[in-house]
Each structure stands twice: as C-alpha cells, then as structure tokens.
A and B are shown apart, each in its own frame.
Chain A
Amino acid sequence: MRSDTGDLLQGTLGVMILKALVLGPAHGYAIARWVEQTTDDVLQIEEGSLYPALRRLEDRGWVRSEWGLSENNRRARFYTLTARGRAHLKTEAAVWLRYASAVTRVLRAAPAIG
C-alpha cells in the first residue's frame, strides 16, 4: 500500500471502516460517505485507499463481502462486519480511546498552551 500514508493512518482507516460497518452492511462508497460526514471531512482520506484497506480487513476475516444491488439498483460489492471483526473493533477502539484521552489530558493539563 502507499508508503506515504503513515502506519497510524493505516490503522485508523481500518478502525474507521469497521466502525462504519457497525451500522450494517455497506458498499465502499457508503463507507466513504459515512466517514466523510462523521468527521466533517476533516481527515480528507483519499477515497481509493479505502479499497485496499477493505481487502486487508477481509483477508484477516474482520469483514466479508458479497455482491448485491445498491439503492439505485446497480450491482455493488457490500461489506459486512464479521463477529471477529466486531471483537477486534472493540479492543482496538478501547486502545484508541484510551490513547486519545491520555493525549487529550496531556494537552489540556495546566498550564494552558496559551
């Protein structure tokens, strides 16, 4: 995968995709839209990189895919979170949240940055 995308973002992308799928099966575009809307387009991920990330998740058995029909009746590949994927998301999210809150605490600690 692209080397200029950092490991942090790689891992983050995976977690975000898994999270997007908690709502239910979705095709790649829907996942992109969900991330975009949820983050107010802050992360600005390159949409194409979503697909290699999905393949990696699929290889690890965290998501599975099948062909179905989209809302406008086109053939689309739908991704579904597997039980293993959900478990993984849970631990990953916990780690991530703990990390984020620690960083947040550090940054909020007195004295204020100014």
Chain B
Amino acid sequence: MHDDPDAPRWRRYLRFWGPNVDADVDDELQFHLDMRTRDLEARGLAPEAARRIAEKRFGDAERIGAELREHDHHRNRLTHRRDMLSDLWQDVRLAVRGLQRTPGFAVVVIATLAICIGANSAIFSVVNAVLLKPLPFREPGGLVRVYQMFHGERGAFSGPNFIDLTKQSRTLASAAAFDDETFNVVGTGDPVRVNGTLASASFFNVLGVQPIIGRGFNPDENEPGKSKVVVLSHAFWRQRFGSNIAAIGTPLDLDGSRYTIIGVMPPNFDYPRRISVWIPLVYDTSFTAMSRGADYLAAVARVKNGATVQQAATEAVTIGRRLHDAYPDHNAHMGMTALSMRDAMVGNVRKPLIILLGAVVFVLLIACANIANLLLARSSARQTEMAVRSALGAARGRLLRQLLTESILLSLIGGALGLLLATWGVRLLLVLKPTGIPRLDTVTIDGSVMMWTALIAVATGVIFGIAPALQLSRGGDQLAHSLRAGGRGMLSSSGGRQLRSALIVSEIALALVLLTGAGLMMRSFVRLQSVDPGFRSDKRLALEVAIPSATYDTDAKIAAFYDNLLERIGSLQGAHETGAISMLPLSNNGFGFSFTVDGRAPVKPGDEPHLETRVLSADFDRVLGIPVKRGRGLLATDRTGAPAVAVINEAAARRFFPGEDPIGKHVVLGWRTSDTTHVNGTIVGVVGDVRGFGLDQEPQPEIDFPYAQVPVSDMAIIVRTDASATAVAAGAKRELSALDPTLPMADLRSLESIVADSISQPRFYMVLLGVFALIALLLAAIGVAGMMSFAVAQRTREIGIRVALGANRGGVVRLVLREAMRLAVLGVVIGGLVAIALSRAMASLLFGIGVRDPATFAIAATVLAGVAFAATLLPARRAASVDPATALRAD
C-alpha cells in the first residue's frame, strides 16, 4: 500500500506489455481505502482518524493484497497460455483448410519433403550411430589407443616396448595389450571357427566393462600356466551354450587346447571387433624379454583422472623417443603415438559421413528453394485472401505467423512421413554392406534421430516459408492496393521475380555442387574398379581352412593334410583347378618379415628390409592367373628333400634387386620355424604383382614359399570352377569332414565378392552421393520448369502483345529460353566456385583423380545446363502457342 495515491502512476506504463497485476491490485485496494477515508472525513472526522478507521474496517490489507496478487498472476498465466493455444489452433485450422483447398500442391510439397527429410534422417541415423553415440565403454572419453610407429606409420607394439610404456607412463592409469587370433572350437556341436582376442588381464578393467556372468581375468592370469581361462561373448554364449549359466566353469577347446569358461560379456560389448572369445595373453619370456622387434600387439589405455588424451599423446611421443634411443638395434625406426579411442575407431570414416550429411542437407535446401518458389507462385493467388484478412484487422505479425504455421505444418507432415521412409531407407543403406564402417550394425531410428528430424522439419518449414510469408504479409497499404487491382500486381513486380530468380540460381548452384561431388566419387570409383588386382577373380571360390596345431603338430602332417584336401576338392564335379594360399589377397592383413640375401653385407637389425610373406600351393600362379615374368613358378616337385625355393613378385625384384637378376639368389627370412632354422629359399622365379592391401594401395614386395617346404596351419583353398558356389560348398564341406570331422567350415566366398568388398566403402559413398545428386538434379529440373511455366503464365499478356505486334514463335521461344539459361548459367558459375572450394574436403576419398578434375566439372556443368534447358522447353513451347487474341482478352 502506498500513502501517496499519486506515486505509482509511472508503473502503469508497464501495462504496455500486458496487465500489470501488482499495480492493479494496489490501485484497487488503495482506491477502496481512499474512498472510505474521504466518506469518513465528510462525516467530520479528522483525516488521520478517518484513515485509521478506514484501514481498521478494511482488515489486513497486506495479506489480502498478497492473496489477490498471487491469484491474479496465476490467472494471467492461464489466460496467456489459452490465448496462445487458441491462436495456434486457429492458425493450424486455417492452414489445414488452405491446404485442403489445394490438395495437389500439398501432396507435391509433402512428398518432396518426405523424401528429402527422410534422406536426412537416414543419413543422420548413420552419423549418430557411428560418430555420435557414446562408445560402449565406461567413460569412453578417457580411453586412448597407443600405437608403436614404424617409419612414421601407426603399427603394432612388441611385448617389451609395451611393458616399457606401462612402466614409464605418468599419464596412463592402466593399459592393456591385445592381439586378434582365430580359433577352432571343437566339442559340443559342430566345429566352428571364431575370432578371439588374447589380452592383458587388465583388458576389461581398462575398458570399464565387466562380464555380466562370472568374472573377468585375474591379474595373475597372464602368467604362463595360469592362462587357460576364457571369457565368452554374449552372442557366442547364446549360440553355443543356449545361454545356459551352467556353461561357467565348463571346459572349451580352442585350437586343441583346453580352457575353462569363466565369464560372459554383456550383449553390446564387442571389442575389438566381432569377437567370440577373450583369453589371457601369455606374458612368457618371449613376450617380456626376447622379442623387442616382434611387433604384433595393439594397445588400449585409460588416462589418469585429470590427465587429457592430448597429454597422453605427447607423453607417448616422448616415451617412444626414449625407447628408440635406448634400443637402437630393434627400435631404430620406432616411435609412439596415442589417439583418442573415438578417433581410433571412427576417425577414418568421419569425413565421408560428414560429407554425406552435408550433401543430404544440400538436397533439402534445394527442395526448400523449390517449395519456396511454389509458395511464391501460389501466393499471387492468395493476395486477395491476405488483403481481406488484413483489412479485417489482422496484424502483419499475425498473418506472418499464420503463413509460417502453414509451411511448418507442411514440413512436419513431411518430416513424419520422412521418418517412416528413413526406417526403410536405413535398411536399404545397410543392403550396400559397406565393410569397415564401425558400429554400422547399431544404426536405429532412436530418440536423437527423431529429435534431429523434428528440428530439421521445423527449420525446413521456416526456411522455405519465411520469404514467401514476408512477401505475402507485407504492408497493409500494398495489400489494400492489390485488392483494388483485382489480385494482381505485387508479385509480378520486379521484387517478386528477383526473389524467385535468386531461388532458382541458388538451387542450380547447390545441385551443381552435389553433381560435382558425386561425379568426382564416380570417376574415382571407376578408376578404382578398373585397377588390375593382379589376379583373376572370376569363377574362383575361396574357402578358409585352419587346422589345430595340437593335432597337426609336424610339418609333414600339415603338408599331407593340404595335399589330401586339395586333391579331394579338386576331384569335385565342376572343379577345374585348386590351389592354396596362406593369406587371401585384399584381406588387409600383413605377414611381413625382415630378410637377408646371401652374399650381401649385413645390416643393423632394425634396418633390415621387409618382405610380405605368403605360402602357396604348387601352380598357384596358374590357378589365379598370375603371370610368371621370369624363371618359373612353384612346382609340385618343390617338396621336402628338394632344394628350398621361393618366388618373388616384381615389386620385390624392383625394390631389392635393382639392376641384377634375382633368380638364383638365396634369401633368409627373420621367420623362425625353430630356435635354429629360419625360413629360406633360393629365388627361382619372378611373378606379377598382386594388390594385397586394397586396390588403391601399391603392391607390396612379396616372397612366396611352397607349403610343401614351409607348411602353415591356416590356408585358404581356391577353386576354379563353373559350378555354383552352393554346390561347391556342399562338396567341400563333405570332403573336409571326411578328412577331419573336427574341423570347422568357414564361409565359401567368391574372389569376385572379395574384390567387391574391398571397395565397398567407396561404393557406398558413391552410390549415396549419386542418389542425392540425382534427386538434386530432378528437383532442379522441376524447379526450373515450374518457375518458367509460372513466368510464362504471368507474362501471357506481354507475350500476346509481342505476337500481335509481329514477333514470330521462334522469337518467343528464344525469349523464354534465354531467360532460363541466364539463370542456369549464373547458377552453374556460382555452384562451380562453391564446388571448387568444397571439393578439397574430398581429397582423401578420391583415387586417381584430383579434386578439381576438369572433366568432372565440365560434365557436371553441361549435364545441369542441359537439364535446365530441357526443363524450359515445355514452358517455352507453351509461350509460343499463346494466342494473342485470348491473351489480350484475359482479365
């Protein structure tokens, strides 16, 4: 309450933004008291006495005032909310009614939006699953992968270097080494071959994931003799043991050795990748002391609380340098580095996925331009409606809001349908089966995808709706003017036309950027696909076989087994030739050894050259169509007892025997078969290069030995056959189990599919970019055609006059085409500049062409201009057929 009734007057200005509840309550009560006081004074009371009695009669003014204020504030909020809702509801109803009046327009717009927003949701769901979702580990931000570097490239650790890392590090809280192997599982059920990981006992603790049943490794289980325990993946436990808890404590035979099952990991845990069993890495003497030069371990570590990944990386470099200096023999070219777990897992797919997301956003923007143009065209028909509503007192803001509600309603419906399309589209994406994109199997339409879709839908509605809405709701005067003008005028004014032209130009520019990007990917892919892998892949099937060293414990047994198997499979119906190789080409695995050549001066241990090493069957070159360039290939006569032989590829001959004949040279590898013997052989031939590490990778220098002289337990059988894969698979399975029923059967794959898989990632990116570019092209064509049709319709009268004044039909067609091509060329030029700026980002994705490949740019520009031209032909012909008499009588 205020003693001076005039004091709070200024506060009334606060009512400008709505009722001022506090001031109103004060005023109302004050008024009452003042009136009572005045009446009492009129009866002769002294002013002070009168005021006192008035207050007494009123009661507790403070309390009542507070009560009223609270009540009024509450009521105000309710009223405000109700007003908002009722406005919104009114807008939505108007919007629905407006769309019902033009169902064709609504269907076209919603369909366009559903496709473009759906594509966005689908790609985002991939980005979300692969890049954004937290990694399935505890506090994944604190995890790092540590790499030993060799000649500046990230590689594997040797045991002693890993141990030194853990001893010297001050930033890492814990670290684990691991190594992937494959195992034959024999026992209950069919024999199977599974991926397994040998890991430090700390492995699960570092990752922060514990078994859901049983236990992880005890700290002492890396010690020799204590390491025969195994942790199962959830999937393997389900398949092999029917999710039976009694499996814990039971034995499991891996490659003929007996392990005890101690635990089962949670269902979503799969590290490093597609692993069925984890067993302890044995820290025996060869691990801890002897083999500093044997690099085969991966390392994962968790940084200490308070330390950062960056600090860990800096420290790794320091430790690497220290180890390099301390062990010049083995660590001559060694360094160390660390990457965050996230970068290590998804770093190489981040860029292409972001490019895809960018591309699909571009497509959506093109759709926005198209729809904005449609709305602009439609708005000329709606000016009367707006003018009437404006004349009836609707404020401009209110009209604007109503128009935006219309576009957002459209985009929300489009977004909802798009989400449906996306659930289907994601499945379609996965059909392309790109290999090597991690976590792709976790792609789902989840909450974040829905959020993204909703966000994008609203943004889309605003983007395509804002310009037409502003245009349409502009100034009451103009609208009133348009009423008088009979609903014509404003939008055929230069402002409207410029806006529409700008939209078309930007649409063409965006389409060109997409077309160029897709073109670069396509040309790059064609080059990649036409790379000669160095071997024939047609009509050749591969079957990976592994035999347990516990049973096949001598070289003779192994060689006899493969001799036998090759003969049996070779005699199958339809099998023309059979061969065997220790590692399939394009499998992305290396098996490299240092080597020395007899008669050459010895080099320091760390400086030895390396050769990729393969073990082959006799005549393998013939089975795969690899040319023998000099000397001979491996023959059936190269057996135990015969002289040890080897063949090398041309890359090896060029690199290590430049200017001399390698044939007759005796090579000794760092590969020991026992404490005293090394794999060795006299070179008897030079064969063509095979790309073992990807079509985009140069062939590595390679040396091949006959398995009859250097037996290995894991081989891939290759069959050249005209028969179907299923027939051969059935026969091969029969022969394999006849030979040894404990052996698992791996998948039979065609070499063609192996080659195709090796380029499935670029193919995935190319197909998606191609589809987006195609949609963009289509949208641009529709946009140009729509815009020009509208322009022709608007200018019917002008064209009629021109024709009446003697302009010929050709002239009219040229007039329309010239206008369209002016916009198209402008769009192409702008788009070209943008494409040049953006294509640099694609550099790492391209093979064999530059990011500014002139041919691609030229083709993209020509295609786009051609499409714009074709899209203009129809409206141009309509313009040419304008009948001057009808045109002049119109309106």
Most buried by A among B24, B27, B34, B64: B64
B36 touches A55 (CB 8 A): no
Give Cα distance in the complex from A28 to B24, angstroms: 13
**Are the CB atoms of B59 and A49 closer together than 8 Å?**
yes
B residues in contact with A55, CB < 8 Å? 68, 71-72
A residues apposed to B, CB below 8 Å:
1, 27-29, 32-33, 46-49, 51-52, 55, 59, 67, 70, 74-77
Contacts of A77 in B (CB 8 A): 24, 27-28, 31
Is A76's CB under 8 angstroms from B28's CB? yes
Q: Find out whether the CB atom of B64 lies under 8 angstroms from the CB atom of A74.
A: no
Q: Are B35's CB and A48's CB within 8 A?
A: no
Tell me which residues across on chain A come within 8 A of B34, comparing CB atoms: 74
Instruction: Give the residue name and chain of the A residue nearest to B31 (CB).
Output: A76
The residue of chain A having its C-beta at the shortest distance from the C-beta of B68 within the complex is A51
A29-B60 contact, Cβ under 8 Å, with A51-B29, A52-B68:
no
Known contacts A47-B36, A49-B64, A51-B68; A28 and B28 CB within 8 A of each other: yes
On chain B, the number of residues with a Cβ less than 8 Å from chain A's Cβ atoms is 21
- For A47, what are the chain B residues with a Cβ–Cβ distance below 8 Å? 32, 36, 57-59
Contact of A52 among B24, B31, B32, B67 (CB under 8 A): B67
Minimal Cβ-Cβ distance residue in A for B34: A74
Assess the A75–B29 pair: CB atoms within 8 A.
no
Task: Specify which of A1, A29, A46, A59 is in contact with B32 (CB 8 Å cutoff).
Answer: A29
Asked whether B557 is an interface residue with its Cβ less than 8 Å from the other chain, the reply is: no
The residue on B at minimum CB distance from A32 is B32
Which of B31-47 touch A at CB < 8 Å? Answer: 31-32, 34-36, 39
Main secondary structure of the interface of B (DSSP, over half): helix
Query: Could you mark each residue 71-103 of chain B with 1 if its beta carbon is under 8 Å from any beta carbon of chain A, else 0?
Result: 110010000000000000000000000000000
B61 within 8 A of A: yes
Say how far B95's CB is from chain A's closest CB, in angstroms.
31
The CA of A74 and the CA of B67, in the complex, are separated in Å by 24
A29-B35 in contact given A51-B64, A55-B71, A77-B24 (Cβ < 8 Å): yes
CA distance A47 to B55 in the complex (A): 9
Residues of A near B57 (CB, < 8 A) are 46-47
Which listed residue (B29, B31, B39) contacts A74, Cβ 8 A? Answer: B31
Instruction: Enumerate chain B residues within 8 angstroms of A32, measured Cβ to Cβ.
Output: 32, 36
Query: Chain A nearest CB: distance from B24 CB in Å?
Result: 7
Q: What residues of chain A lie closer than 8 Å to B67, measured between beta carbons? A: 1, 52
Given A47-B57, A76-B31, verify A29-B36 contact (CB < 8 Å): yes
The 4 closest A-B pairs by CB, nearest first: A48-B59, A46-B59, A48-B64, A29-B35
18 sampled A-B residue pairs with Cβ under 8 A: A27-B32, A29-B31, A29-B32, A32-B32, A46-B57, A48-B59, A51-B29, A51-B64, A52-B64, A52-B68, A52-B71, A70-B31, A70-B35, A74-B34, A75-B27, A76-B31, A77-B24, A77-B27
Closest A residue to B71 by CB, please name it. Answer: A55
Instruction: Specify which of A33, A46, A59, A74 is in contact with B58 (CB 8 Å cutoff).
Output: A46
In the complex, what's the smallest C-beta–C-beta distance from B397 to chain A, in angstroms? 25
B60 contacts across to A, CB distance below 8 A: 48
CA distance A12 to B665 in the complex (A): 120
Give the docked Cα–Cα distance between A27 and B28 (Å). 9
Among B28, B57, B68, B72, which residue has the most Cβ atoms of chain A within 10 A? B28
Output the residue of A47, A52, A77 with the most chain B CB within 10 A.
Answer: A47
Residues of A near B32 (CB, < 8 A) are 27-29, 32, 47, 51
The residues of B that contact A48 with a CB separation of less than 8 Å are 29, 58-61, 64
Indicate with 1 or 0, residue by residue over B760-777, a CB within 8 angstroms of chain A CB atoms: 000000000000000000
In the complex, the chain A residue whose C-beta lies closest to that of B28 is A77
Q: Chain A residues with Cβ under 8 A from B29's Cβ?
A: 48, 51
Hey, which chain A residues are within 8 Å of B27, CB to CB? 75, 77
CA distance A48 to B56 in the complex (A): 10
Return chain B residues, CB-CB under 8 Å to A59.
75
Chain B residues with Cβ below 8 Å from A52 are: 64, 67-68, 71
Cβ-defined contact, A51 with B28, below 8 A: yes
Q: Which of B808-851 contact A (CB under 8 A)?
A: none
A77-B32 Cα distance, complex, nearest whole Å: 10
Which residues of B from 426 to 461 have beta carbons under 8 Å from A? Answer: none
Report how far A29 CA is from B64 CA in the complex, Å: 15
**Chain A: minimal CB distance from B428 (Å):** 58
